[in-house]
Amino acid sequence: MSQLHLTDDDVKQYLQDHPDFFVGKDDLLMQLRIPHNAGPATSLVERQLSIHRERNVELRQRLSDLLENARRNDQLFAKSRRLVLALVEAESWLGVQAALDDSLRNDFGVDSWAMLHFTERQLEAPLITLRSAERQRQILRLFKGHRAVCGQFPGQDIAALLGNQSTDCQSVAAVQIRGQDNNGVLTIASQDPNYYRSSMDTLFLDYIADLLALRLPQIPVV
């Protein structure tokens, strides 16, 4: 009679097909030893308990991360809602400017921000007008064909996006406002060079820019 040779895969497949194989075989379970990289061999039951504990720790961490993300999303939604309502209720461009300033500085904690208006109109401070077509083109070149940009830029470019001659900010997130007879740029900036990175999502800025593009033409300048 030929001797039957079982491979590791055969045993593995059998145990997978019969997951209750060790039921009622406690003595066998306690005899099985499994080498462990972190120490001496342990019994199969001990090893299973260890694996379950490790997985429970991992699952608790994942749950904690999900809850933390949910909390942050709730906070972001509440802040965004307040800003949207303030922009809807604004009765002038100065009102829009004030709503943005209050939200961006107090709710979102940005170091600096600006909204540039590409227009020939005379706008009252603190509204920033950019009348020069050449300066407008220089600003738009920074976007390199994209609607929004994030990351580190030379100081003079960040200053231009903020409508200033100079700035101590070292990273920015900026988005173009494309409305009916209302074009411009909304920029938020940080003194931290790594705060705004090129890999960041600009969904929030895109959303606010879309709202501004719709809202500004609906209300008087002053």
Encode pLDDT of 67-98 as tens digits: 888 888 888 889 999 999 999 999 999 999 99
One domain for residues 157 and 181: yes
One domain for residues 36 and 112: no
Q: Is the pLDDT of residue 37 over 60?
A: no
Whether the CB-CB separation of 187 and 114 falls below 8 Å is answered with: yes
**Average per-residue pLDDT in the chain?**
87
* Domain closes at, from 73, 89, 105: 89
One domain for residues 120 and 192: yes
CATH number of 172's domain: 3.30.450.40
- Residue 31 in tokens: 């005899």
The pLDDT-based confidence of 1 (bands split at 50, 70, 90) is very low
One domain for residues 23 and 125: no
One domain for residues 120 and 208: yes
CA atoms of 86 and 148, how far apart (whole Å): 23
Whether the CB-CB separation of 169 and 190 falls below 8 Å is answered with: yes
The whole domain housing 100 covers: 91-218
How big is the chain, counted in residues? Answer: 222
Q: Is residue 2 part of a domain?
A: no
CA atoms of 59 and 210, how far apart (whole Å): 39
Q: What are phi and psi of 130, to 5 degrees?
A: -120, 100
Handedness of CA 78, 210, 207, 122 (dihedral sign): negative
The structure's pTM equals 0.71
Higher pLDDT, 36 or 53: 53
One domain for residues 199 and 148: yes
Tell me the percentage of the chain whose pLDDT exceeds 70: 87
One domain for residues 108 and 201: yes
One domain for residues 100 and 68: no
* Domain closes at, from 55, 89, 123: 89
Whether the CB-CB separation of 182 and 54 falls below 8 Å is answered with: no
Q: Is residue 67 part of a domain?
A: yes
Q: Name the 3-class secondary structure at 10.
A: helix
The burial of 187, by beta-carbon neighbours within 10 Å (0-12 exposed, 13-18 middle, 19 or more buried), is given as buried
Alpha-carbon distance values, 196 to 24, 64, 73, 106 (Å) = 60, 26, 19, 18
